[in-house]
Chains A and B, each alone.
Chain A
Amino acid sequence: EAQVTQNPRYLITVTGKKLTVTCSQNMNHEYMSWYRQDPGLGLRQIYYSMNVEVTDKGDVPEGYKVSRKEKRNFPLILESPSPNQTSLYFCASRRGASYNEQFFGPGTRLTVL
């Protein structure tokens, strides 16, 4: 089954404790991205990757890091989480062309205390 998976689905952590949210897709997609969803704000892009070893900042990159060492994986790293990073996070992927459907993961609910 073609899908985007994220782990963990739920995470409660404390300020300053480094964490990684994993994202993996099995569709051989070139393009992957991370979004955060906050009430009243919709989804905003954090980082994206056009292919292996090619990443770039989205609209709200502060406090986040990513890497793309393999085509299928695109982890999101919070080196020192803060309460304002409490949010719902989505990973997404698509084949290269912009018209193509973007497939979303199931979401990760992160709470930073």
Chain B
Amino acid sequence: GQNIDQPTEMTATEGAIVQINCTYQTSGFNGLFWYQQHAGEAPTFLSYNVLDGLEEKGRFSSFLSRSKGYSYLLLKELQMKDSASYLCAVSYDSGGYQKVTFGTGTKLQVIP
């Protein structure tokens, strides 16, 4: 099976930087997604990493190390609206199909 681990909850201050980590043990690994999910809403796509390294997209950046089975999502200049759950999801080959399995999510609370 797929084993994905991320912290359950985090708290950070408005304007600060926060890093949300995700570790995984996945056979047939293709890549790693990050999704944002506000309470009562559907997940929305943030990023997808296939190669090692950092990808920056505005205030959000995502990093991947395939050899270490590790990724993080970096949020800069935090805003109150960033309070949400952040889901790490791995894409992998399974029986000739591509599947995506989600981690349990990290609930981020941004405080003034």
Are A and B subunits of one complex? no
Q: B residues near A, CB below 8 A?
A: none
Q: A residues near B, CB below 8 A?
A: none
